Structure 1
Amino acid sequence: MTEPTAQSTDDTLIAVRDLTLSFGPKIIQQNVSFDVRRGSIFAVMGGSGCGKSTLLKSMIGLLRPATGQILVSGEDYWAQSERRRTDINHRFGVLFQSGALWSSMTVGENVALPMEMFTDLKPPVVRRLVELKLGLVGMEHAIDLFPSEISGGMRKRAGLARAMALDPDILFFDEPSAGLDPITSARLDDLILTLRDGLGATIVIVSHELQSLFTIADDGIFLDATTHTAIAHGAPRTLRDSSDIPDVRAFMNRVSSLSPPAKTKG
């Protein structure tokens, strides 16, 4: 069994310690511990219903854990005041599964919104920064279009531009490739790698798209819905090729972990 990391190192940016997530008496995950290294692309993996998105919500401040700690640069996030958590949140950029763009706003207005809410920048400066953010994701031509006027892949890229609006050093992606065709998904993977390498961002990604994870992620954890724990830790390719846990190997290789039914004589 591959155990989650238990001790932070100098390059640890996020450290999760003995985290338990629940909704009332229902345990989602318990005693989860792992480190996210600075500059890495860290994958949260597992089957449907295992708690991947719930864990992400706790890491970005939307769900208080039942017990445990989430340390960001050594600060216990959930032990801070609301004002301090808001300050820490400004280090985060989040790409939600649907893109989560406001339909009544143009693409440019969507990207500008965090700057207008949390900075004192003048409108001409905001406009120029919006152009730069959209340029990073190849969307500068869509600045005055509405979300309904662009494709699903373009909405994902626009959502990514908005996630980068405040120059965060930590990006969280919830199923970024969901609903995209293989070519668009591969282009988004290339974009994520470019942003990591060009901006030095640390990325936490929730996904069940294995080809995408094999391409971009260099570390991760595997959450199990049956035991409600993280049962494996490591790069997706490593877990695929050498995990000694049958369910992990089966999931990462897209095969059933169940024995095939016995053949009947006809």
Structure 2
Amino acid sequence: MQDRSSPSTLHDPHATETGPGGPVLTMKDVTLAFGPKIIQSHIDLSVRRGSIFAVMGGSGCGKSTLLKSMIGLLRPSCGTFMLDGEDYWAGNDRRRTELNHRFGVLFQNGALWSSMTLGENVALPLQMFTALDSASIRQMVSLKLALVGLLDAIDLMPSEISGGMRKRAGLARALALDPDILFFDEPSAGLDPITSARLDDLILNLRDGLGATIVIVSHELPSLFRIADDGIFLDAVSKRPIAHGSPKQLRDRCTDPQVHAFMNRQRNEKDSRP
């Protein structure tokens, strides 16, 4: 049995010479906790510029908590979080706010304001954080909604559109300030396979067309295998990462039994059918 004290690493989590580019976001020996309760510890990861990085693991392992830490909503109990070589938590609140403008976040279910139209939802960050006039904001909103295929729905309310459209609208809002790093929390959850595949295509287009770096929390294997080229696997029992690598690498080459079972569960389910 593999020693759980050291992660199964299919590459160096701090490598700088491989993949689309050098590291844009790194964590070293990070521990995440709520008071005395440790969620994850000894987190080492490096997200390469222009990559799609997956945070994987079973329910309750701390995937969303790690994402919250990456976007500055949860300060690590220990360890360092570096953004382009700058210590995120070393600066003051004003500097962290400036760094946060580099982030775009797609929350679960889109997290749209139900009392606002799609256009108003996308306009909100522009109204709050830019000095653009109303005409310029309307133009930017149209551009972002067109990018996700929702220009015709600009005046619709969230209740008037489908779940997949709400996810895309949330993505348009995440793109409002032209971030270079995008964070997605379970973007395919609750979507049918066809809608999920279309969202995958959109994510790939954003990476390839805009050069965005993307961090995605997901347990949807078809999506992970299709779009992610790097990742980390969190363990709920040991409360630490137990593997690094792309989803395909973890599926085909990782020897940790928990990781192997998780990444091959669809194949195992198919083999067990009568």
Pairwise same-fold verdict (TM > 0.5): yes
Match for 1:69 among 80, 86, 92? 80
Match for 1:164 among 175, 185, 197? 175
Q: For 2:104 and 2:265, locate their aligned partners in 1 and report how far apart those are by CA, in whole Å.
A: 31
TM (norm. structure 1) is: 0.94
**What is the CA distance between 1:9 and its match in structure 2?**
2.3
SS at match of 2:178: coil
Q: For 1:79 and 1:106, locate their aligned partners in 2 and report how far apart those are by CA, in whole Å.
A: 38
SS at match of 2:252: helix
Paired amino acid for 2:240:
T
Q: For 2:13 and 2:211, locate their aligned partners in 1 and report how far apart those are by CA, in whole Å.
A: 25
SS at match of 1:57: helix
Match for 2:261 among 224, 240, 250? 250
Alignment correspondent of 1:138: 149
**What is the CA distance between 1:7 and its match in structure 2?**
3.5
Q: For 2:61 and 2:95, locate their aligned partners in 1 and report how far apart those are by CA, in whole Å.
A: 30
Q: Does residue 1:7 correspond to 2:24, yes or no?
A: no
Q: For 1:164 and 1:6, locate their aligned partners in 2 and report how far apart those are by CA, in whole Å.
A: 27
Paired amino acid for 1:183:
I
Cα deviation per residue 1:199-243 (whole Å; 9 max; x = unaligned)?
A: 000000000001100000000000000101110000001100110
CA contact (8 A) 1:221 1:232 kept: yes
CA contact (8 A) 1:174 1:206 kept: yes
Q: For 2:16 and 2:199, locate their aligned partners in 1 and report how far apart those are by CA, in whole Å.
A: 30
Alignment correspondent of 2:4: none
Alignment RMSD: 1.4
Q: For 1:188 and 1:256, locate their aligned partners in 2 and report how far apart those are by CA, in whole Å.
A: 23
Q: Which moved more, 1:90-99 or 1:5-14?
A: 5-14
Match for 1:185 among 184, 189, 196? 196
Alignment correspondent of 1:53: 64
Q: Which runs of 5+ in 1 are unaligned?
A: 258-266
Match for 1:154 among 165, 171, 185? 165
SS at match of 2:265: coil
**What is the CA distance between 1:138 and its match in structure 2?**
0.2
CA contact (8 A) 2:14 2:23 kept: no
Q: For 1:231 and 1:55, locate their aligned partners in 2 and report how far apart those are by CA, in whole Å.
A: 15
Q: Does residue 1:90 correspond to 2:101, yes or no?
A: yes
Paired amino acid for 2:165:
M
CA contact (8 A) 1:5 1:33 kept: no
Task: Indicate the percent of aligned positions where both proteins have the same amino acid.
Answer: 71
**What is the CA distance between 1:70 and its match in structure 2?**
1.0
**What is the CA distance between 1:5 and its match in structure 2?**
3.3
Q: Does residue 1:22 correspond to 2:11, yes or no?
A: no
Q: For 1:71 and 1:162, locate their aligned partners in 2 and report how far apart those are by CA, in whole Å.
A: 25
Match for 1:234 among 234, 245, 256? 245
CA contact (8 A) 2:104 2:174 kept: yes
Q: For 2:39 and 2:174, locate their aligned partners in 1 and report how far apart those are by CA, in whole Å.
A: 27
Q: For 1:8 and 1:111, locate their aligned partners in 2 and report how far apart those are by CA, in whole Å.
A: 36
Q: In the comparison of the two structures, how many residue pairs are matched?
A: 257
Q: Does residue 1:125 correspond to 2:136, yes or no?
A: yes
Q: For 2:244 and 2:148, locate their aligned partners in 1 and report how far apart those are by CA, in whole Å.
A: 31
Cα deviation per residue 1:149-187 (whole Å; 9 max; x = unaligned)?
A: 000000000000000000000000000001111110000
Q: For 1:30 and 1:2, locate their aligned partners in 2 and report how far apart those are by CA, in whole Å.
A: 15
Match for 1:223 among 234, 251, 256? 234
TM (norm. structure 2) is: 0.91
Paired amino acid for 1:167:
D
Q: For 2:14 and 2:52, locate their aligned partners in 1 and report how far apart those are by CA, in whole Å.
A: 19
CA contact (8 A) 1:8 1:15 kept: no
**What is the CA distance between 1:6 and its match in structure 2?**
5.0
**What is the CA distance between 1:79 and its match in structure 2?**
1.7
